[in-house]
Amino acid sequence: MDERHRRLNLRAGATMLAALSGLTFNATAQAQEAQPRQVEAAPSPRQVTPLMDGWRFHFGETPEAALQQDFDDSAWTSVSLPHSWNRMGNYAPERAEGSDVRQGSGWYRLNLPDIKPPEGKRVIIQFDGVGAIADLWVNGTHVGTHKGAFSRFRFDISDYLKSGQTNLLVVRADNSKPGPGSTTEHVIPLGGDFFVHGGLYRGVSLLTVDSAGFDLMDHGGPGVYVSTPSITAEAAKVAVLTRLRNTGRKPRRLSLTTHIADADGRIVATSMQPVALEASQAREITTALALPKPRLWQGRSDPYLYKVTAELRDGKRIIDRVTEPFGVRSFTIDAGRGFVLNGQPLRLHGASRHQDRQGKGWALTPEDHAEDMAIMAEMGVNTVRHAHYQHAQEWSDLADRTGMVVKAELPFVHQSAFDDGLSAPELLANARQQLTELIRQNYNHPSIMLWSVGNEIDIGAAIAALQRGGKGEPAKSRDMLINLDALAKAEDPSRPTVYVDCCEAVPSPLARPGAQILNDVTQVIGLNRYFGWYYGQPSDLTAALVDLRAKYPGRAMGLTEYGAGGAFTQHTDNPLGGTVHANGRPHPEEVQSWVHEETWKVVGSSNLLAGTWLWNMFDFASTSREEGEAYDLNDKGLVSYDRKTRKDAYYFYKAQWSQEPVLYLTGRRYVDRAYPVVDVRAYSNASSASLTVNGRAVGTVACPQRICVWPGVKLAAGENELSAQAEREGAQLTDTLRWTAPDAAAGLNIRAGHLTGITTSDGLRFGSDNFFSGGRASGLRLAGRTRLAPSNVTGTPDPELYGSYRAGEFSYSLPLPDGLWTVTLHMFEPEIDAAKASARAMTVQANGKQVLTGFNPASAAGGSLKAVTRSFPVQARGGQVMLTFSGGEGGAVVSAISVQPKR
């Protein structure tokens, strides 16, 4: 690209509004149609040849001879596109066989027939996405390099093709792990909680075009850019900026026709004007059109789309044509009214989405994109966050048609340097390149309304400092963020910018003293806040939002990430019964639901947030994680990695957001229940719901905040059928599930202080902590990143039963059939300090009668971290036994409670 054209491109966005102010919207320079007319489009003047099949692939070192036609690639693998060599992420505690987390260079070869273009034509190769650096050779000659895994890019290969022979394409895709001295050292992203897949993971095609046409070298953009300077009920003023280029050696005298068609294909506005293109010239033309009585793009309620078509003619012959989607809408986002679409406030509620999928990585088909969008639309979202990079054009087309409001993102995440210093000039240049590509390639999508120029860009330095025991300077990324924000505003003044913050004013070890303030750079503040998961309680979010609003009163805020991990095979009877091990195991599905329920109580009614995006719509690959039931997966998705299973929390939001009638019983994967008495829950947008168990009516309850709860429901021994019924807008709703339950006559076994149960060496099953009031749940020891270390309690064949405990002042109300029972308390002294251990004096009451007085676990066991039990008889009356624990200054401790029939 010549320097003049580069400067022109960088100025274009900044000067567009000024240019539009001088436009007149009349028939002087255009032939405006009085009545709509429908025309059939002529065949495309561009010859498009998909290059999806016939590729040969090899990963790793490749001899230079592979660039030549006579190289024998028969040992290489035959592949079709889209293709990535990476596959990872599975629901198992270890990495699955067949996973491929290799990073490095993958090589592709493709033989093309004789395609030398005729006189006056050019051949352009288009790559829709290559992870992460692409190099292209044609017939042994290096054509060019593109750095960035997410953008479309093109090369003119006309002069490298040879007539009368097969032509060889060789592509190297390099997704080497970024680091000092690596090939990706200066390519964003430098890190992040997702994996950059290698390969030709999107489509590749050849475009045979006239030497004069819409500029295909405009950072991968369409060369046609549509905006609406003003909109009224009577007319919308439409400005169409076209970037043209003549790559030929002769001047051209052409004409440009621009028209708008409605959704039925009728032409509703048109313009025609002469165009002169000198040899090797690039120029811009802005055309003004008036669209009478426009039908607005109204988000999910009416995502109405027009199409803008620009045609370039040489005489009567059409030599190039581009058609782009176009939605007429106005929007603002500010601190006072939040997000406003077409003059009406619209509360944005949605989710983030990563583009990978189990068994495919990033190599998605159009059907995969459509399924993702359908799942999100079913849940009732009205906004999508593209995490954390440019998504496929097929996906953004779906967002346009579905009516989603989109926050599109630059992959400037995690860090801006490897040494906590200032960003390297090469890295800034690459980020500017990728941001320009993001904006130009997506400018015409009406769904996109926010440009995100950074996400948690200081967190990498904070994590590194933690790993070094708190040593190290905070990141110095502010200057780079300011630079990118200015570029985004120059490229597109019509859309606000947003930075997504992780750590300012958050009670987290990642909130480092002396960290640069970044939330005052962009027009909108995005907040990633994980109260109730990584820190604090969901209710703490209220004060955090109030404090940030006071600090940034003039900026709109959005909650861009919140949520929790959720496993399909790990369950709890009470999400408050134990300590969350966010970076370890387990991740009970019920805890995920609880975090979302409690967080939504805050954000669903807050007037401080213009929008919310939960994290995440789908489980996604991340090689830094060994959590929950998964390996190489972030399990915060509401839908499984293969899209086949929706977690309970998915239906919580469907009940909140969807217009469809919803009734869903939770806990359907927790089939084999630990206790014969349970709280039954359902999500519904009906006002009330009824429950039957084995045909027996339990009762009708109200469903405040779309949550229906039947407390203390008794199950029969063995299989139980639970059925819920409700009515919503005349629709009769029913949902049914089956659980198996233990025999109530066999008693109860409770694992105190833990979110999941355990089966002991003698086959006795303990459920997770439940039926308690007060106290605090504690884990014996934590390993790195809050992973629970193995219990080191001695004197028992089951040390893990003593790996957690409830401490302080607390009680247990145990649901038991009337009769005589034996209660066994499993205890140990967790304090290593001898003075503290000897000071503990526990008192335990059963139904108000003292059964232990001044009990000291260390003295009874012969030291700290040694198991000890005490048993006593108790009479259950009215279906209950009440155990009360106290212990003075040190409090009481109990690791498990076993209640069995007295013999």
CB-based contacts of 878: which residues, under 8 Å, 6+ apart? 818
Comparing CA positions, the residue from 782, 892, 882 lying closest to residue 828 is: 892
Apex 144 CA angle, 73 and 45, nearest 5 = 95
Beta strand 252-261 with 306-314 is antiparallel
Tokens of 557: 């805020």
Between CA 829 and CA 390 the distance in angstroms is: 54
Task: For the chain, state the CA radius of gyration.
Answer: 32
215, exposed or middle or buried, with CB in 10 Å at 0-12, 13-18, 19+?
buried
| Rounded CA separation 483/560 (Å) | 22
**Would residue 142 be called left, alpha or beta, if left means φ above 0 and alpha means ψ between -120 and 50 degrees?**
beta
How many residues are there in the chain? Answer: 903
Dihedral sign for Cα atoms in the order 688, 693, 695, 696 = negative
Residues paired with 713 in a beta bridge: 678
Number of neighbours of residue 159 by Cβ within 10 angstroms: 11
Token representation of residue 354: 């990563």
Contact between 557 and 610 under an 8 Å Cβ cutoff? The reply is: yes
The DSSP code for 531 is B
What is the rounded CA–CA span in Å between residue 346 and residue 116? Answer: 53
Residues 777, 804 contacting (CB under 8 angstroms): yes
Residue by residue, DSSP assigns 59-101 as: ES---GGGGSTT---TTSEEE-SS--S-B--BSSSSPPTT-B-
Contact between residue 278 and residue 246 where contact means Cβ atoms under 8 Å apart: yes
> Positive or negative, the Cα torsion across 333, 339, 340, 341?
positive
Which residues, including other chains, have CB under 8 Å from residue 802's CB and lie 6 or more apart? Answer: 780, 791, 793, 796, 826, 828, 867, 895, 896
The SS3 of residue 458 is coil
Residue 119 among the catalytic residues: no
HSE of 73 in the Cβ direction (CA atoms, 13 Å)?
A: 28
Q: Is 479 helix (H, G, I), strand (E, B) or coil?
A: helix
d(CA 184, CA 186): 5
Among 154, 114, 100, 156, which Cα is nearest to 130's?
154
Beta carbons of 762 and 801 less than 8 angstroms apart = no
Of 456, 504, 561, 829, the catalytic one is 456
HSE-CB of 885 using CA atoms within 13 angstroms? 27
CA distances from 314 to 213, 282, 441, 606, 810 (A): 10, 17, 27, 58, 86
Residue for token pair 């009920």: 233
What is the residue whose two structure tokens read 């549509």? Answer: 226
CB atoms within 10 A of CB 115: 17
Q: Are 242 and 310 in contact (CB under 8 A)?
A: yes
**Catalytic residues, which ones?**
456
